[in-house]
Amino acid sequence: MTEKQKWFEEARYGLFIHWGLYSALGGQWKDTKLTRNTEWIMRQAEIPFEEYRKLADSFDPVCFDADAWVRKAVDFGCRYLCITAKHHDGFAMFDSAVSDYSIMHTPFGRDIVRELSDACRRHGIKFCVYYSQMQDWADPDGDGNYWDYDPAKKDFEAYFNNKVKPQVRELLTKYGEIGMIWFDTPYHMPRELCRELERFVHSIQPDCLINGRIGYGFGDYRQMSDNEIPSAVYHGLWETPMTLNNTWGYSKTDECWKSPEKVIRMLVDVVSKGGNLLINIGPDAAGRIPQGSVDVLDRVGAWLHKNGESIYGTVPCADSPYQLRWGGLTGRGTTAYLHLLDAAETPDRIKLCNIETRALRARLLSTGEELPAAQTYELARDEHRLIIHYPQDRLDELDTVIAVEFEEAPVFRSLYMNFEDQGGAAATARPVENKKTSGNAAEGYAE
């Protein structure tokens, strides 16, 4: 891992913001009503560019307050923020000398990227930009608009040289340090241009991370499919972008918000497999973040403010050979964080099987309270167990985290039995060295 990648692994949880002219339509145009990807309304309804661009004449998000948004991102527990500087519709949410099709040519006339980047810096979170490098439905040479412009006449290289590179340069030179540039839908972009773009970004800001959707395996980290979480630990840097309802851009009708429980479950799942979760919000055209998403993310944030130690900067804990019926595991060094997501699965105690490493103490992360724990090894079944009793009256309904400190980085024993090196040792049971133990270590054998 290089120095420049460290912040990304440390951050683990970011806020994606899809905001642009499409937000004014909220997924509806004449007879077209989108239930997902409302930011695609121009293409789905094949709105002529000359008509769509009129949205800029009334785009005036009077409620937009960069400082309030970034404070909210901090409340949500997000450690980076990524704004759609230019989405597929081609409209720049920043002051661009390359094209008049920008926020500066609206009644609002203020540079959104500037205000957000300044606010992120003030509040100490990484500022990142999304930039649609291949699709541009406003540019005759950009990809994707086949209803206004004849595909046979498109000169993609001209678009790449005259719009993409100059605008990417603007983004990387006018707004200070950019944590990451988030490209999307490389589709039919030629491989050489993907590589050229990667080099171009790094020639201007060598420390700016590039996501995998620059194409052809270039970039600094693997971008997972939208809303998809790998089924196992994935080594190397990666990120899953996730909608909070069923769309990225604002929707007038979609109130299907994921619950705070669900978001935390996904966050634990992603982090326990070594990745980052980029959770999305889609503000409306007035610059308001939908209340439904604020309500959910506020609760996730409150949980993170108490339990963030178990998420930020953690890595996959040693792989448990058993499925964890009660939840998930994250880790850092010699500490494992046990996320109790399903208390009903195992009322009053957590059992961790096959953990070989000696546990020193267990504590409730939110309060620091030490918990009674016992560790056993039974030779006949070649079975290690760590049993931790947790207080049922102090459960967090979202996720109760128990931090277990081990003598060294925890290791699980595989399920393959191997008696050869045991030397005939008898079964042993010992309390974990907590001050207050259950006093009955042998109960680890009870099941």
Residues that bind ligand GLC (CB under 6 A): 37, 39-40, 184-185, 226, 241, 248
Shortest spacing between CB 61 and ligand GLC, in angstroms? 19
C-alpha separations of 435 from 88, 372, 375, 423, 438 in Å:
59, 8, 15, 31, 10
SS3 assignment, position 155: coil
Comparing CB distances to ligand GLC, the nearer of 47 and 341 is 47
Comparing CB distances to ligand GLC, the nearer of 130 and 175 is 130
Buried b (16+ CB within 10 A) or exposed e, 29-52: beeebbebbbbbbbbebebebeeb
The nearer residue to ligand GLC, 159 or 248, going by C-beta atoms, is 248
| Shortest spacing between CB 317 and ligand GLC, in angstroms | 28
Among residues 426, 337, 329, the alpha carbon closest in space to that of 378 is found at 426
In the complex, the smallest distance separating the C-beta of residue 22 from ligand GLC, rounded to whole angstroms, is 9
Q: Which residue is nearest to ligand GLC (CB)?
A: 241
Q: Which two tokens stand for residue 19?
A: 């905001």
Amino acid sitting at position 182 = W
Q: How far is the CB of 373 from ligand GLC (least distance, A)?
A: 42
Residues β-bridged to residue 223: 239
Q: Give the other-Cβ count within 10 Å of 75's Cβ.
A: 16
Residue 386 is classified by DSSP as: E
Whichever of 160 and 248 has its CB closer to ligand GLC, that residue is 248
Rounded Cα gap, residues 247 and 16, in angstroms: 12
Q: Least separation, in Å, of the C-beta of 227 and ligand GLC?
A: 8
* 200 φ/ψ angles, rounded to the nearest 5 degrees: -60, -50
End-to-end CA distance of the chain: 43
Nearer to ligand GLC, 42 or 324 (CB): 42
Query: In the bound complex, what is the minimum distance in angstroms from residue 87's beta carbon to ligand GLC?
Result: 6
Distance CA 281, CA 295 (A): 12
| Rounded least distance, CB 245 to ligand GLC, Å | 14
Nearer to ligand GLC (CB atom), residue 46 or residue 370: 46
Nearer Cβ to ligand GLC (226/382) = 226
Q: Which residue has the tokens 């991370």?
A: 209
Provide the minimum distance between the beta carbon of 223 and ligand GLC in the complex, in angstroms, as a whole number: 8
Q: Which is nearer to ligand GLC, 185 or 346 (CB)?
A: 185
What phi and psi values does residue 357 have, to the nearest 5 degrees? -75, 145
Closest CA to 129 of 41, 204, 235: 204
Of residues 39 and 254, the one with the C-beta less far from ligand GLC: 39
CA distance 112 to 440: 61
CA distance 179 to 403: 31
Output the smallest distance, CB 432 to ligand GLC, in A: 44
